[in-house]
Amino acid sequence: METPRVGLVISGNAAESGLERADGIRTQLAHVLEEAGLEVCLEDAIVTEDVMALNAGQKLRAADADLIVLVNATWTRDTIPYLLMQVADCPLLLVGLPYPETYSLASVQHFAGLLSNAGQPFKAVYGDPMDSKIVDTIVNYSRVVKLACSRIPFCMGLIGPRSSWRAFGAQDMTDGEWELSDVVGATIIHIEMDEFTSIVDRVSAGKRESLIDRLRGTDSVPPIVAGEEHRLQSAAAEYLAMEELRETYALRCATIQTYPYLWGAANLAAAWLGDAGFVLETEGDLVRTALMAVIMELSSRPSMLGELAHIERSDGLMYIGHAGSCALSLAESLAEVAVTCEGELGSFVQFPIRRMPEASLIAFWKQRGVPSLQVIPCESLGMTTKEWEAMGAVSLAKLRSSAFREDMLKSMISLAMEHHLVVSEGALGEPLEDWARLRGIAVVEH
């Protein structure tokens, strides 16, 4: 992701107490945010009048700012944030200061209420703006905004055969693809399967072996059944073919429809690519591919695509499983990774998902016509080889959450939830829900 560009504006009212702090806050906070890795467009004047807000908004628009960080040094008239937001055409992060005599907090609460009423996405924080928690919030939200509102195309590849039948709507693209493109802000690029396979076929043996040697050097080549080593060469060619397509079409992620057309193809390549920072999903699931790419952008970590395998309500446990193309870093060790041979050249990459003290179970689906997102915080417990084998030896995550003590199956059905879910390391609720609100996606509480 490119460095987010934030506009830093300090506002106030000359009639209120506390405005004398404004200059010090402006210079200190600008320095702290730059030290944290942001590009800061600093408004030199303390904005106290509408005309000053107009001028500041015009400067930020010209600078192509991604986010306005507005610190209310005192009570601020609500026309000022309104004008900043309208003219600069980017979201707001409101900062209220912990000084009672300034009524800064009341000012933030007031305008946040107006934004909520208008259905406008924003973020509000309260406290010393130099506090590390507030700085982290500004940095993280600016990254979310940069991703959600980027003017740079977010290109997704859809690799596979095209359907030739339609009822209503588009012929070469489905209406659902058009809608998803609008919802997530992505450009979907159709790539014929023949284009992919022809690139695979012309990858030389030397290039295949060179990639495998490089991956061995990073302990990324799982053991293969004796006599089936040719599957490694096939996966290496698929990896290099995807790298070529990635460059040709400026892809940020891709999904390839290998089921049931090329059974087992691209799974090991997808596992390797995931740890290289590129999402390749192997079932043609554009919706979850987009979600996994957003997760990769926000957390720099690969995630797991899966579906409901088993629930133990009394223990608050849920197992999410899938036939495997998971990134190998999701395993406890390479020794736990099993590669099974599928089709003529393909494979499945399967293992128990490792322990993660903080994890997220994420659903992204269309609930009765409304694109919706739900994030459930949980813990990934890991599991023994014996338990994993008893549960079917697929790629499997054993998750625990107080939310799972309820009837999750009934809840999922009542929400009209689709079967594919995503498991990711880390507490991703806040950044993903911020991204969803910025994209106009409904956030469903768990």
Q: What is the pLDDT along the chain (446 residues), one digit of tens a residue?
A: 789 999 999 999 888 888 888 889 999 999 999 999 999 999 989 999 999 999 999 999 999 999 999 999 999 999 999 999 999 999 999 999 999 999 999 999 999 999 998 888 899 999 999 999 999 999 999 999 999 988 777 899 998 876 655 566 666 677 788 888 889 998 899 999 999 999 999 999 999 999 999 999 999 999 888 778 888 999 999 999 999 999 999 999 999 988 776 778 899 999 999 999 999 999 889 999 999 999 999 999 999 999 999 998 878 899 999 978 899 999 999 999 989 888 788 888 999 999 999 999 999 999 989 999 999 999 999 999 999 999 888 899 999 998 888 888 888 888 899 999 999 999 999 999 999 999 999 999 87
Please name the amino acid found at residue 143.
Answer: R
Neighbouring C-alpha atoms within 13 Å toward the C-beta of 268: 29
Structure tokens, 261: 């057309």
Map tokens 């460059």 to a residue: 247
pLDDT of residue 175: 77
Asked if 376 and 355 count as a contact pair (C-beta separation under 8 A), the reply is no
Q: Domain coordinates of the chain in residue numbers?
A: 5-148, 154-443
Q: What is the third-level CATH fold of 5-148? A: Rossmann fold (3.40.50)
pLDDT of residue 164: 55
pLDDT of residue 344: 80
Map tokens 């022809």 to a residue: 198
- At 93 the three-state DSSP class reads strand
Instruction: Point out which residues pair with 157 in neighbouring strands.
Output: 189, 254
5-148 and 154-443: identical CATH topology: no
Map tokens 């309260």 to a residue: 126
Map tokens 């338990």 to a residue: 387
pLDDT of residue 165: 56
Please compute Rg for the chain using Cα positions.
25
In 3D, which of 266, 286, 259 has the Cα closest to residue 174?
286
23, 128, 301 from 125: Cα distances, Å = 20, 10, 27
CATH code of the domain made up of 154-443: 3.20.14
120, 401, 417, 420 from 406: Cα distances, Å = 33, 10, 16, 20
Asked if 42 and 9 count as a contact pair (C-beta separation under 8 A), the reply is no
- At 107 the three-state DSSP class reads helix
Instruction: Point out which residues pair with 395 in neighbouring strands.
Output: 322
In 3D, which of 271, 282, 310 has the Cα closest to residue 388?
310
